[in-house]
Structure 1
Amino acid sequence: MSSSSASSIKEANLQFVKIISNSQRAIIRQLRDRCTGEFHAVKEFVDRPISAIGRLQIYRENEYLRDSNSPFIVKHRGNFGEGDEFKIVLEYVDGSNIGSCGPIPEPTLSRYAHQILQGLNYLHSKRIVHGDVNPENILINGEDQVKICGLGNSKKLPGETVTFERWKGTSYGYRCPDKLREYPCDGYASDIWGFGMTILHGHIGRHPIMGPYANQNPELMYQLYVWEEKQRPLTREDSSEDFKKFISHCMHKEPSDRWKPIKLLEHAFITKHQDGNNAQHLNDQNPHEEPSSSSHTAQ
């Protein structure tokens, strides 16, 4: 891995502003370029030494973001360092994540969902599974534009493969049933389950299952929901029928029954709230280039 990208950004010119997020695995800082005044987000792993898996993840995330050409994926600005000191420089998103914006009115949520689906459709067309779709990885900037981030758990599927034998990835409350039960997991369909749960979170203003049980074993409550023979509805009493049907297509227990991004983009919940300018983005991303639905499995 090269010690720096072809970007003109120089690490010595970056001045610390604040910590954006700090998890057990990675820290993201907001930095300001002294020369240009531009803000950036810089991500690095906090473990020392970084494990082989951790190093693979950050290099892979750097590669996918560097090669991305979608307005709905956070922009790659460069990278610095090697080994334990490797850092990714990203565009700074001046807003919040979708989980901190709720409850979100349906027209606004539809516009967010429209952009998220275009981003997922782009990734899937490149055979990339995001692997961790949850509210913290869906950023909303000051102009109400969606930026998907957090590709540390992403994987590019080889050949016609669509499933994995062993892969948890997604944050617990957004894992699909096949991930929880450690069945072979359809990577693309797992992204759609996480998307559906994320949209519900934005709609309700909290996790629809774990939220009310934050102090009472929320992971157990999530398991009980996933394992219900007939899952109870998670929408609000005032949710529209279009929204309820839209969510139901995202959260089937059976992975093959979950709709793909391109089909969800044609659902009434999405189309009735869009204007021509929003819809045009999809045509710029080769939306009909879909991954194969072969049942081959990766380890």
Structure 2
Amino acid sequence: MTSNGGTKWIKGALIGAGSFGKVYLGMDATNGLLMAVKQVELPTGSAPNEERKKSMLSALEREIDLLRDLQHPNIVQYLYSSVDDAYLNIFLEYVPGGSVTALLRSYGAFEEPLVKNFVRQILQGLNYLHEREIIHRDIKGANILVDNKGGIKISDFGISKKVDGNLLTGKRVNRPSLQGSVFWMAPEVVKQTAHTRKADIWSVGCLVVEMLTGEHPWAQLTQMQAIFKIGQSAKPSIPSDISADAQDVLRKTFELDHEARPGAGELLQHAWLALKKSSSSNKNALKTVAVPTIEISA
């Protein structure tokens, strides 16, 4: 664990809650740097609590081990951590705009061009993670932060995992319990038959629906009803008032066969998301036009 216990910081307002703990705005008392501080209260006292404390610390150290090596513009930057008898603090880059969920609450559903912009950035961040064998496992609006220039940052790696054999095959040995947010969950995760990188892609599709409509899929259902529905291989409804390309992306993300579901890199090449190159005619139009010199005799 990277520790910076000597650094003094000032605790500010509660700005959110993530897996395991609450998130506060913090300020470095030496240089004034604003940070997001994920603070986890550790159990104290009895022997069972000591075991819980060890288990929590172990899980948090796994999160830190994942975060510390990640360097990407679309992933929240880990700074350092500290631990004492009562709390473990994880110091992270502060993203001032808040989460996609908070923005939807404030401004309503997003227009398609904005969704496209955000999805492109999310997939770039996910592609970086997946290339490093990391599955996020909890992609949803609350875990996608937006800075004050519209830049996207993927956050909350509390239940993220490095890919291993058991995760990929879905064997009962050491298989994870049902973790994540049900409404964004892929069918193979609900059924616990597999949990690969492609589960994140299904969740991205659910996030697209969330951004376009202002509500996550299955919003009218309870969590238990949603688990049953998704477990029966039901797909979220695709909005009818969006472009054909956007609908096609959603159809691909909601592919029931996770092996046939496209990866993040493949989706970035889709017509809806690929950045258009300037045509040769546009390039010619931008060429400097020579202006003849007119001589004026005295």
TM-score (norm 1): 0.79
What is the Cα deviation at residue 159 of structure 1?
A: 7.2
Q: How does 1:26-45 map to 2 (within 5 A)?
A: 26-45=21-40
**Moved beyond 3 Å, runs of 4+:** 49-53, 158-165, 227-231, 272-275
Q: Could you say which residue in structure 2 is the equivalent of 1:238?
A: 241
1:219 aligns with 2:223: yes
- For 1:253, the equivalent position in structure 2 comes to 256
TM-score normalised to structure 2 length:
0.80
Deviation at 1:25, TM superposition (A): 2.8
| Counterpart selection for 2:188 from 178, 189, 193 | 178
Does residue 195 (structure 1) correspond to residue 196 (structure 2)? The answer is: no
Determine which of 15, 20, 36 is the counterpart of 1:20.
15
Distance 1:262 1:134, change over 3 A: same
Moved more, 109-118 or 22-31: 22-31
Q: Tell me which of 80, 85, 90 is aligned to 1:78.
A: 80
Q: Quick one: distance in 1 between partners of 2:54 and 2:143?
A: 24
CA contact (8 A) 2:22 2:38 kept: yes
**Hey, what's the Cα distance between the residues in 2 that align with 1:107 and 1:56?**
42
Identity rate, percent:
25
CA contact (8 A) 1:31 1:41 kept: yes
2:62 corresponds to 1:60: yes
Q: Aligned pair in 2 of structure 1 residues 244, 24: CA closer, same or farther (>3 Å)?
A: closer
Match of 2:141 in 1: 135
Measured in 2, the distance between the counterparts of 1:199 and 1:262 equals 17
Structure 1 window deviating more from structure 2 (22-31 vs 154-163): it is 154-163
Deviation for aligned residue 1:33? 1.7
Secondary structure of the structure 1 residue equivalent to 2:24: strand
Consecutive unaligned residues in structure 1, runs of 5 or more = 276-299
Computed over aligned residues only, the root mean square deviation of the Cα atoms, in angstroms, reads: 2.5
Aligned residues: 263
Cα distance in 1 between the residues matched to 2:38 and 2:277: 34
CA change 1:158–1:228 in 2 (3 A) is closer
2:107 maps to 1:106: no
- Cα distance in 1 for partners of 2:103, 2:53 equals 35
The AA in structure 1 aligned to 2:28 is D
Deviation (angstroms), 1:86 = 2.3
The residue type paired with residue 253 of structure 2 is: C
Quick one: which amino acid aligns to residue 118 of structure 2?
Answer: Y
Change (3 A) 1:160 1:264: farther
Look up the equivalent residue of 1:31 and give its one-letter code. Answer: G
Letter of the 2:191 partner, please give it.
R
Q: Is 2:42–2:85's contact at 8 Å kept on the other side of the alignment? A: no
Following superposition, the deviation at residue 228 of structure 1 comes to 5.2
Deviation by residue 1:52-84 (Cα, 9 ceiling, x = unmatched): 443222111111111011111100111112576
Give the partner amino acid of 1:154.
S
Whole-angstrom distance in 2 between the partners of 1:23 and 1:151: 9
Please give the per-residue CA displacement for 1:232-281, whole angstroms capped at 9, x wherever unaligned.
x6232311111111011111121112110010001111125799xxxxxx
Q: In the TM superposition, what whole-angstrom CA distance separates every residue of 1:149-189 from its partner, at most 9, and x where no partner exists?
A: 11111111247973444222221111111121222x13201
State the distance in 1 between where 2:29 and 2:196 align.
41
Q: CA–CA distance in 2 between the matches of 1:187 and 1:114?
A: 21
My pick for the range that moved more, 78-87 or 56-65, is 78-87
Structure with greater contact order relative to length (CA < 8 Å, sep ≥ 6): 1
**Structure 1 residues 44 and 163: alpha-carbon distance in aligned structure 2, compared to 1, 3 A threshold:** farther
